[in-house]
């Protein structure tokens, strides 16, 4: 053998040996990696509170929840420890959250937090006085929404459905309301349906001058009660009862009140008789503004009260043939103008308004997805948005009040920002489907990167050690619309083979499943399934978000109809591909997605052979009235819309394998939905599988629950698809 041949032989041996080492090191994703050890969980950046100087911020120090430190934005170095729980045994259970007083001498400490519903919680609160390092308990019982007055040493909070104000200088406690009662009157916090569907849990606000508190009063005494058993560990189950207005049923009677620090609380009258008051605001001139919606949620008004609250006038109105969702932006400026977002022109835009007119200040081809703030001195706005053609991505923009706009993020993917109050710095997060989030601190004026806060390098290295394919985006034409979709194929994909397909669906109004962002949970599960020989795909049907007003609202009055037509059309499209086994197409979803997968197994029985529904709505008559009536109107006016696309009315069509899963303590989509679906399936003599998770809510989590759930679903897919 020549030296040259020997050299090539040695290179070949080394190459094969090295390849075998690499192959040996590459692992397959296991369910325990995802739901037990959380190996693919991306690190974030702990929240920060910008300090009044604009150059520093407060955050939890090392040993999160035990220390509050002040850091420099520029250097990231520790400048001062503001509070350490090691010096205060009362805080031995840790600090959950903190808020500064206006002069930053006081810190409101939240500890021992107990969650109530999706947004709400109650907690033990302490007041820490920095000048003398004293710590005092705010109240002996857990309270809700404790918040400083904007100008002096007072704290307002709600407790047991009443409102209180405590003067920290005199230690005097004033009870603002006295009529609060369980399942009766609620002062200053919303009822269940307001909290869930209008997404807030504090229904009182201080005026900027600290002289008044505006609050909402909910009389839910006539709202029907929903109850569910809580099994626990006792001999007899407990019963959880709360007011839950289903579609067409009576709501709480909501009224607007004003309390003067030097006087009493009195009710204010709005100039219209709309059903809902989901937001209250104060202008910078101490004027109160209330947002109201009619029952059908297709008319909205902003009502402003004068300084002594004796008169009011409507400063903004909006109507829609379908529905109006609450504006995410309502920013009042010094001179009385305000910013508001609306999709009335076809896409979600920002408008600069006064009582006489409104003008759009963002481009029509952009959908505004988040508002970050307005620098009134420089007259610059900052927001997140995307074009309708790139709905799966997000970018960060700046603009002026005359309509000028420029993109300030430079990477394609999913960009987001968190600004300090002075808008001098922001944390920029960037990610895409293949890249875990990277967090950078940016100085706003020059858009200069100060430093990297977190780059998830360790996670990137972990991901490289696992065998997985890639998530690819594409836009198929389905039922006359170009839809956004993604697909995951096995890493050893062979176009000459036939693969079964599992589609993932949510599909509800304004939602998205097709996003160019990292996901260390479900997406990793999809990679696990792909490596077992499945193709996974998802599509955003008509009715989903960030594609313009008409695309989103075309499903009004017939939830489920167009959505499932698009999902079935997508499944047929996939089935037409040469590498797809059209006899083995499955669908799965959670909540609205469970509703859709149930519709797929019934109305699309000739397309789907397998389906999983987790916590599904099975008839919109069972769901709450604010959400349902927004998209469907009242049941008495739209009986066909409610019934024609309810899975319980189509069970006789089901021929595929169906797994129905629910948590018994789901306060949102009640297990009643699955029980009624079960009854309908039995009447139709349809074989199916069912699994109930005792005392688990809509999220179905806690302990080993998520791992058990995904094992159950994985085994079902491997056995039936």
The pLDDT tens digits of the residues spanning 134-178 come to 999 999 999 999 999 999 899 999 999 999 999 999 999 999 999
pLDDT of residue 2: 44
Tokens representing residue 536 in the block: 């996974």
Q: Can you tell me the mean pLDDT for 337-365? A: 95
Residue pLDDT, tens place only, 696-707: 999 999 999 999
Mean pLDDT of the chain: 94
Is the per-residue pLDDT at 642 higher than 50?
yes
What is the distance between the alpha carbons of residues 555 and 32, in angstroms, rounded to a whole number? 39
27-41, 62-76, 330-344, 386-400: segment of lowest average pLDDT: 62-76
**Cβ burial, residue 654 (10 Å; 0-12/13-18/19+):** buried
Say which DSSP state 624 is in: B
Nearest to 159 by CA among 180, 173, 190, 136: 180
**Cβ burial, residue 17 (10 Å; 0-12/13-18/19+):** exposed
pTM of structure: 0.94
What is residue 414's three-state secondary structure?
Answer: strand
Residues 198 and 328 sit within 8 Å (Cβ to Cβ)? no
Residue 482 — φ and ψ, nearest 5°? -85, 115
Q: Long-range contacts for 23-29 (Cβ within 8 Å, ≥24 apart)?
A: 25/465, 26/465, 26/466, 26/467, 27/465, 27/466, 27/467, 28/466, 28/467, 28/528, 28/531, 29/466, 29/467, 29/468, 29/524, 29/525, 29/527, 29/528, 29/531
Say which DSSP state 516 is in: S
Tokens representing residue 719 in the block: 């056995």
pLDDT above 90: percentage of residues in the chain: 90
What is residue 257's three-state secondary structure?
Answer: strand
Confidence bin at 5 (pLDDT 50/70/90): very low
Q: Long-range contacts for 85-89 (Cβ within 8 Å, ≥24 apart)?
A: 87/133, 88/128, 88/135
Q: Which of the two residues, 405 and 335, has the higher pLDDT score?
A: 405
What is residue 625's three-state secondary structure?
Answer: helix
pLDDT of residue 15: 42
What is the distance between the alpha carbons of residues 432 and 371, in angstroms, rounded to a whole number? 21
pLDDT of residue 28: 95
Q: Give the Å distances, CA to CA, from 74 to 42, 58, 358, 442, 444.
A: 25, 13, 39, 9, 12
What is the distance between the alpha carbons of residues 186 and 223, in angstroms, rounded to a whole number? 13
Tokens representing residue 383 in the block: 């927001």
Say which DSSP state 121 is in: E
Residue pLDDT, tens place only, 266-309: 999 999 889 999 999 999 999 999 999 999 999 999 999 998 99
Residues 126 and 136 sit within 8 Å (Cβ to Cβ)? yes
Element (H, E) at 63: none
Residues 431 and 413 sit within 8 Å (Cβ to Cβ)? yes
Residues 176 and 213 sit within 8 Å (Cβ to Cβ)? yes
What is the distance between the alpha carbons of residues 658 and 105, in angstroms, rounded to a whole number? 59
Residue pLDDT, tens place only, 514-567: 999 999 999 999 999 999 999 999 999 999 999 999 999 999 999 999 999 999
17-26, 388-397, 636-645: segment of lowest average pLDDT: 17-26
| Dihedral sign, Cα of residue 45, residue 51, residue 55, residue 60 | negative
**Cβ burial, residue 152 (10 Å; 0-12/13-18/19+):** middle
Angle (nearest 5°) at CA 313 between 307 and 317 = 135
Q: Where are the alpha helices (DSSP H) in 240-386?
A: none
Nearest to 53 by CA among 70, 68, 67, 69: 70
What is the distance between the alpha carbons of residues 538 and 486, in angstroms, rounded to a whole number? 6
| Dihedral sign, Cα of residue 555, residue 557, residue 559, residue 560 | negative
The string of DSSP letters for 436-495 reads: EEEEEEEETTTTEEEEEEE--HHHHHHHHTEE---EEEE--EETTEE-EEEEE--TT--T
pLDDT of residue 628: 98
pLDDT of residue 18: 40
Is the per-residue pLDDT at 1 higher than 90?
no
């Amino acid at each position: 053998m020549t030296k040259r041949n020997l050299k090539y032989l040695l290179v070949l041996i080394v190459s094969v040996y090295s390849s075998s080492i690499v192959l040996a090191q590459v692992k397959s994703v296991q369910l325990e990696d995802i739901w037990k050890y959380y190996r693919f969980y991306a690190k974030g950046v702990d929240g920060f509170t910008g300090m009044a100087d604009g150059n520093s911020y407060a955050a939890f120090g090392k040993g999160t929840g035990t220390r509050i430190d002040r850091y420099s934005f520029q250097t990231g170095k520790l400048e001062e420890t503001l509070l350490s729980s090691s010096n205060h045994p009362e805080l031995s259970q840790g600090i959950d959250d903190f808020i500064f007083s206006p002069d930053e001498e006081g810190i409101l400490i939240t500890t021992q937090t107990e969650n109530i519903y999706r947004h709400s919680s109650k907690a033990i609160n302490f007041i820490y006085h920095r000048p003398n390092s004293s710590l005092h308990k705010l109240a002996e019982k857990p309270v809700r929404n404790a918040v400083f007055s904007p100008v002096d040493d007072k704290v307002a909070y709600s407790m047991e459905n009443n409102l209180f104000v405590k003067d920290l200088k005199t230690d005097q406690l004033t009870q603002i309301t006295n009529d609060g009662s369980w399942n009766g009157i609620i002062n200053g916090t919303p009822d269940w349906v307001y909290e869930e569907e209008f997404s807030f849990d504090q229904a009182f606000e201080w005026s900027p001058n600290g002289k008044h508190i505006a609050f909402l009063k909910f009389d839910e005494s006539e709202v029907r009660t929903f109850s569910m058993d809580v099994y626990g560990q006792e001999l007899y189950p407990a019963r959880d009862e709360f007011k839950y207005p289903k579609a067409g049923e009576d709501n709480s009677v909501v009224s607007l009140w004003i309390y003067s620090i030097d006087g009493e609380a009195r009710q204010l009258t709005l100039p219209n008789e709309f059903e809902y008051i989901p937001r209250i605001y104060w202008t910078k001139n101490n004027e109160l503004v209330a947002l109201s919606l009619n029952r059908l949620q297709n008319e909205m008004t902003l009502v402003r009260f004068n300084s002594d609250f004796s008169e009011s006038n409507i400063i903004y109105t909006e109507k829609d043939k379908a529905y109006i969702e609450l504006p995410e932006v309502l920013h009042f400026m010094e001179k009385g103008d305000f910013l508001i977002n609306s999709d009335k022109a076809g896409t979600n835009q920002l408008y600069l308004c006064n009582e006489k007119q409104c003008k759009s200040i963002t481009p029509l081809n952009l959908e505004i997805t988040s508002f970050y703030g307005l620098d009134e001195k420089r007259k610059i706005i900052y927001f997140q948005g995307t074009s309708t053609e790139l709905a799966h991505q997000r970018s960060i923009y700046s603009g002026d009040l005359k309509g000028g706009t420029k993109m300030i993020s430079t990477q394609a993917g999913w960009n987001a920002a968190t600004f300090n109050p002075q808008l001098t710095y922001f944390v920029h997060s960037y990610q895409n489907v293949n890249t875990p989030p990277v967090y950078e601190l940016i100085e706003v004026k020059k858009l200069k990167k100060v430093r990297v806060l977190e780059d998830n390098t360790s996670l990137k290295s972990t991901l490289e050690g696992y065998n997985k394919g890639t998530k690819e985006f594409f836009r198929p034409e389905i039922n006359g619309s170009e839809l956004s979709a993604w697909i995951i194929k096995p890493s050893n994909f062979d176009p000459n083979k036939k693969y079964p397909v599992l589609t993932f669906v949510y599909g509800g109004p304004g939602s998205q499943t097709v996003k160019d962002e990292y996901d260390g949970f479900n997406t990793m599960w999809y990679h696990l399934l792909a490596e077992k020989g499945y193709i996974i795909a998802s599509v955003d049907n008509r009715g989903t978000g960030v594609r313009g007003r008409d695309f989103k609202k075309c499903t009004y009055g017939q939830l489920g109809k167009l959505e499932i037509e698009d999902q079935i059309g997508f499944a047929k499209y996939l089935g037409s591909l040469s590498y797809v086994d059209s006899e083995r197409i499955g669908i799965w979803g959670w909540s609205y997605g469970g509703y859709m997968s149930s519709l797929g197994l019934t109305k699309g029985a000739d397309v789907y052979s397998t389906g999983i529904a987790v916590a599904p709505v099975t008839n919109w008559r069972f769901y709450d009235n604010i959400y349902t009536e927004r998209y469907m109107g009242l049941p008495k006016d739209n009986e066909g819309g409610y019934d024609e696309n309810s899975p319980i009315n189509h069970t006789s069509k089901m021929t595929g394998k169906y797994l129905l899963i629910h948590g018994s303590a789901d306060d949102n989509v009640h297990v009643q939905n699955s029980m009624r679906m079960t009854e309908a399936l039995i009447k139709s003599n349809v074989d199916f599988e069912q699994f109930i998770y005792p005392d688990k809510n809509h999220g179905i989590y806690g302990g080993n629950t998520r791992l058990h759930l995904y094992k159950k679903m994985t085994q079902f897919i491997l056995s039936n698809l």
